[in-house]
Amino acid sequence: MAGLIEKTPDMGRNALGNYLAQATTRATEAKSGQGMLARGRKPAENIQAVKEELDAVRREQAKLQQAIYEAAQVQRRLCAPRELTSGEFEIASEIFPVRHLSGDFFKVMELDPVLGLAVGDIAGKGLTAGIWQTHLLGLIQRCARSHSDAADAVAEVNRELCQDQDERPMTALFFARLDRQGNELAYCNAGLPAPLLIRQDTAVERLEIGGPMLGALPRAEFHSGKVRLNPGDMLIAFSDGVTECRNSGDEEFGMDRLSAAAEAVRGASANQALFSTLAAVLDFAGECPPGDDLTLLVVRRRGGIMNEHARSGSKYFLAPRRRPISVARPKKGDRRGNDSK
């Protein structure tokens, strides 16, 4: 069974590639009409045959769009929960894909007696990265349950990925173990932009300890860092799509703007902080669509001084003016093509 699971991404990519190749060939023949004309049919018969062929291609495209939509819904269920309150801690996380399937992922998992937190970014976008996501999530959960040290768990994930000599999904990963009793976060950052720790006393720290991206060096060394989360402290982990989001002037949102956006919602709930930060990114981008998936995970320890505006959400919560491209359910009879890049 394990072998079958490991082969699933390759099987999925091969089947999808064959499917797309056949659809493309049929569309080309249908548009040119050469296949029909070569058989010596009358012009009227050729036109009707071309129309029927085009209708068949559109039906296949609709089926493919429906399959991608369903795959995206599976992705959303695998990346869960999106909101969680456990003891003194609030956790909120979300992925905003720029295409139908996302190469980013997050996971919050029970690892008694701690919580496991993971935010990852698989190199590439769209179908290929999305197919690898299921394999990565299962691998991370298995290694997280096998090791009590964050760096050891990440190192095992890396070794497993490097065993595939043909194709390795290069992956950036932030993995942490949250001790809800001791209020301590042990983490390992493997190539993801360093998460921000916004302290209640206005200090801002970056969680940089870890190692290189996964899937490149089989014997890479990884290290664990530890921080204590005090009442009111807030952690924001994110993919590089957030800081690298650009505006019409080709400027990146960058770490400084992200830090400012995070500090502006100090004292807000984790969910409010997540969407307010997203709003800041999208307002900066203006009419420029994001070029990469956007993923955010916010962890906040409740307590300390809570601003009444933050409680009500009137000042600190800014809803996004617009959302990044998301998957829309195909409409029945929809004959439009599908961008599955």
Q: Mind giving me the DSSP string for 126-165?
A: SHHHHHHHHHHHHHHHHHHHH-SSHHHHHHHHHHHHHT-S
Closest CA to 35 of 17, 13, 57, 5: 57
- Are 9 and 128 in contact, with CB atoms under 8 Å apart? no
Choosing from 72, 105, 121, the residue where a domain stops is 72
Rounded mean pLDDT for each run of 10 residues along the chain, 341 residues in total: 38 47 53 49 78 87 76 72 91 85 89 95 76 89 96 97 81 97 97 95 92 94 98 96 94 95 91 94 92 93 58 40 42 43 37
* Coil, helix or strand at residue 106: strand
244 and 141 in a common domain: yes
237 and 118 in a common domain: yes
179 and 134 in a common domain: yes
- Domain CATH code at residue 240: 3.60.40.10
Choosing from 47, 72, 97, the residue where a domain stops is 72
Question: Would 333 be classed as within a structural domain?
Answer: no
167 and 95 in a common domain: yes
Q: pLDDT value at position 338?
A: 40
288 and 203 in a common domain: yes
Residue ranges making up the domain that contains 239 = 82-312
Separate counts of helices (H) and strands (E) for the chain: 9, 12
194 and 154 in a common domain: yes
Question: Would 325 be classed as within a structural domain?
Answer: no
Question: Would 339 be classed as within a structural domain?
Answer: no
Question: Would 54 be classed as within a structural domain?
Answer: yes
Alpha carbon separation from 110 to 28, 115, 212, 264 (Å, rounded): 51, 5, 26, 31
Beta bridge partners of 234: 198, 300
Question: Would 334 be classed as within a structural domain?
Answer: no
98 and 209 in a common domain: yes
Q: pLDDT value at position 305?
A: 47
Q: pLDDT value at position 271?
A: 95
Number of domains into which the chain is organized: 2
Question: Would 272 be classed as within a structural domain?
Answer: yes
122 and 265 in a common domain: yes
- Paired tokens of 177: 């173990």
137 and 68 in a common domain: no
The CA distance from 230 to 252, in Å, is 32
Choosing from 19, 50, 72, the residue where a domain stops is 72
179 and 68 in a common domain: no
Question: What length is written for the chain?
Answer: 341
Burial profile 76-108: b = 16 or more Cβ within 10 angstroms, e = fewer: eeebeebebeeeebbbbbbbbbbbbbbbbbbbb
> Judging by DSSP bridges, how do beta strands 225-228 and 104-111 pair with one another?
unpaired
pTM, to two decimals: 0.73
Question: Would 331 be classed as within a structural domain?
Answer: no
Q: pLDDT value at position 56?
A: 86
Which residue matches tokens 């595939």? 164
Question: Would 318 be classed as within a structural domain?
Answer: no
